[in-house]
Structure 1
Amino acid sequence: MHSLKLVLYIFLFASSVRLISSRSLCEIYDRHLKYYKVRDCYKSNIPVISWTRTSNLQDCMEFTRQRNGLAFNFSPEEASNYRNFSQNCHVLGCPETKNGITLVADLTFDYYSAYGNLSMTENSTCIKSIGLFGLIEEKHNYNRSTEKCQNIGAHLANVLSEIRTNHLSQYINDTLQDWYKVAYIGLNDINEEGNFRTLNGSKLSCFRYRAWGPGHPRSKHRNEDCVVLDSDRMWRVVKCSSKLPALCEFYPSQPLENVDFGNISYHGNSSNGQNGTCISKQITKDLNLTIFRREYLRN
């Protein structure tokens, strides 16, 4: 009896260790976006998906993460007397790209983004609250496709959720002109047959969602180690030597040291601390206007 209990305890302990290890491995790769200050005294006119009033920058960042924002406009509390509304944290579903053409001057706000290096996102397409993507239509094998994505500051796309698979499948359908509309994604079982992983090492077994097409993955075809996404919202395995388009997902990035916005140059800052420069400018502007009015009335 004691031997049976000991075996049972050992089994339960081993199962617990495996469960904890599995959960830890899955949690390692949870996306936790970091936001960078891209522009002082400016805000983005990209549509706001949510907004609130916060007392500090860190709370606005956390609110943005909770709302799946890719960027945000933030105005510190000391600017409240100069704003036309109380909400000082504006969450954006898409970030500025290219030359920041929808940034507008606003002395009470600063613009923050998870994609601070605008030059790396010049040819990207935003899928709201998910990320920035690009399709390389030139056909290559899997390894070459991986390199092509890396050359533009991206990696083969993650599709391990229903919302990602559905939106990215639509993107493939809308963009590719071939009758067979598929593209390589960041999923394969090259290292271990049947054990599919993303390019950052996350196991498919850590995720509940699956979108395999009928008959896939095909166990009889053991040389089909790479995965594509098609225009019908399905994953399919193919030979890694197949030459196909590539679906790339851009890496979040910090701003360059010097960012050129048309005819205005700005030295990039980190997201640490709040900005008081714009408020000082506003106070100075108001003071100069008051002095001008007094001089005008006196004359």
Structure 2
Amino acid sequence: MAPAVLFLVFTYLMGVSRGSLNCPTGKLNPLQFHLVRQCQRAAADEALALENTSSLKECADLAHDMRGLALNYAPGGPKRRLNAFDQRSFGKQGDKEQRIRSRLSVFEQPGEFFNCHVLKCPQNNTFSGMVNDSRFDYYSLYGRPTVVRNYSCIPEVGLFVVYTQPSAYLNASLTCSNSSEFTGSLAHIASEHRTSLLAQWLVEFNRKSQSLAEGNVYLAYVGLAYNSSTSLSPLDFRNSQGESLQCFLYRAWDGGHPRVGGDLGNASCVALTPQGTWQTLNCDRELPFICEIHTARSTFGWEQSSSELDIGPNAVFECGRDRV
């Protein structure tokens, strides 16, 4: 067979093999920031980035690059150059406030100098960190806040819920995917960034649990398991979306893990330790587990991003009349 033909056959087989691994294609389907509140901005005291951008898309692209989970954006235009909610005083009181503001750096008053604020975390249920500012709109990857109240944000990673009530792996997976409070799955951990930050989160969770006289979490199920009906090899562990670990470069196996083959065939479910390592365990073993809250479903184009608009308590109802 000619070398060119051999090369084409090899390329085809490699494509089929990689396709069967169900590798993610995130670059082709980037996460979308959804409009959540109009004429309001979230506090940007610890923003990942403060910039002036020419468009919402440019601001969103920056947020993707910085791993931001939410953003404030001021679209500009004749009706949105001034903050209609600005209550600055006049006379002596106004002069005093002006002197105070003059001492602040541009980074201490981002709403005055930057139209794009990339944020580490989205607002929670209460929107307690919101400021009425008709120049800005607030966007989040998660759309409207989830109704669950005990979730945690890991900056630059996502939103998670830890369940301390031990459960077998299958039941843990079903609890995450069938929750009535959020759309989610067992946590994705196939990167150094995610594994290390989730492990640090478990350490902090245990520290808080000690002060509350609650039990610590030394092992927690996450979204990684071997399934003999879908996996292509003994090391072909799959996450909750069915994507193979072979699609990712990072591994954090603890010493002696993964345990595969022979009598250890059922040791095929993965748990995370607070030390940032992965262990394979019998899937029937009952353990705490970590659910990851999924981002809001993407729509087609920015013009439809208002599908997640929140009009709950403290929303600015009259803002829509002033939009340009």
TM-score of the pair, normalised by structure 2: 0.74
The answer on 1:243 being equivalent to 2:242 is no
Residue aligning to 2:258: 217
Contact 1:94–1:127 (CA<8 Å) still a contact in 2?
Answer: yes
Q: Distance in 1 between matches of 2:17 and 2:68?
A: 28
The answer on 1:194 being equivalent to 2:235 is yes
Residue aligning to 2:90: none
Q: Which amino acid aligns with 1:140?
A: S
Residue aligning to 1:156: 186
Deviation at 1:194, TM superposition (A): 2.7
Q: Distance in 2 between matches of 1:258 and 1:68?
A: 23
Deviations 1:140-173 (A, max 9, x none): 0111111222314221001111111001011122
Deviation at 1:241, TM superposition (A): 0.7
Relative distance call for 1:76 and 1:258 in structure 2 (3 A) is: closer
Deviations 1:27-59 (A, max 9, x none): 435672211111111000142110221222222
Q: Which amino acid aligns with 1:198?
A: N
Q: Which amino acid aligns with 2:48?
A: I
Q: Which amino acid aligns with 1:58?
A: K
Residue in structure 1 matching 2:199, options 165, 169, 175: 169
Q: Distance in 2 between matches of 1:87 and 1:258?
A: 24
Any idea what SS the aligned residue of 2:8 has? Answer: helix
Residue aligning to 1:231: 274
Residue in structure 2 matching 1:205, options 216, 240, 246: 246
Residue aligning to 2:124: 97
The answer on 1:28 being equivalent to 2:40 is no
Residue aligning to 1:295: none
Q: Distance in 1 between matches of 2:148 and 2:267?
A: 32
Deviations 1:98-130 (A, max 9, x none): 111101101110101011221335221111111
Greater displacement, 41-50 / 80-89 = 80-89
Overall identity of the aligned pairs, in %: 29
Q: Which amino acid aligns with 1:226?
A: C
Q: Distance in 1 between matches of 2:247 and 2:271?
A: 20
Relative distance call for 1:73 and 1:22 in structure 2 (3 A) is: farther
Q: Distance in 1 between matches of 2:290 and 2:113?
A: 41
Which ranges in structure 2 are unaligned for 5 or more consecutive residues?
84-110, 210-214, 298-306
Relative distance call for 1:157 and 1:27 in structure 2 (3 A) is: closer
Contact 1:108–1:278 (CA<8 Å) still a contact in 2?
Answer: no
Greater displacement, 251-260 / 240-249 = 251-260
The answer on 1:135 being equivalent to 2:130 is no
Bigger Rg over Cα: 1
Relative distance call for 1:22 and 1:36 in structure 2 (3 A) is: farther
Q: Distance in 2 between matches of 1:121 and 1:62?
A: 29
Q: Which amino acid aligns with 1:41?
A: C
Relative distance call for 1:194 and 1:81 in structure 2 (3 A) is: closer
Which structure shows the higher strand fraction? 1
Deviation at 1:65, TM superposition (A): 1.1
Q: Distance in 1 between matches of 2:33 and 2:267?
A: 38
Deviation at 1:15, TM superposition (A): 2.6
Contact 1:172–1:182 (CA<8 Å) still a contact in 2?
Answer: no
Any idea what SS the aligned residue of 2:48 has? Answer: strand
Residues 43-192 of structure 1 mapped to structure 2, 5 A cutoff: 43-46=41-44, 47-78=46-77, 81-82=81-82, 85-150=112-177, 151=179, 152-153=181-182, 154-176=184-206, 178=215, 181-190=218-227, 191=229, 192=231
Q: Which amino acid aligns with 1:13?
A: L
Contact 1:71–1:92 (CA<8 Å) still a contact in 2?
Answer: yes
Q: Which amino acid aligns with 2:219?
A: V
Q: Distance in 1 between matches of 2:312 and 2:216?
A: 41
Greater displacement, 48-57 / 72-81 = 72-81
Contact 1:72–1:90 (CA<8 Å) still a contact in 2?
Answer: yes
Residue in structure 2 matching 1:38, options 36, 39, 44: 36
Any idea what SS the aligned residue of 1:65 has? Answer: helix
CA RMSD in angstroms comes to: 2.6
Residue aligning to 1:291: none
Any idea what SS the aligned residue of 1:138 has? Answer: strand
TM-score of the pair, normalised by structure 1: 0.80
Q: Distance in 1 between matches of 2:13 and 2:257?
A: 28
Q: Distance in 2 between matches of 1:87 and 1:106?
A: 13
Which ranges in structure 1 are unaligned for 5 or more consecutive residues?
268-274, 281-299
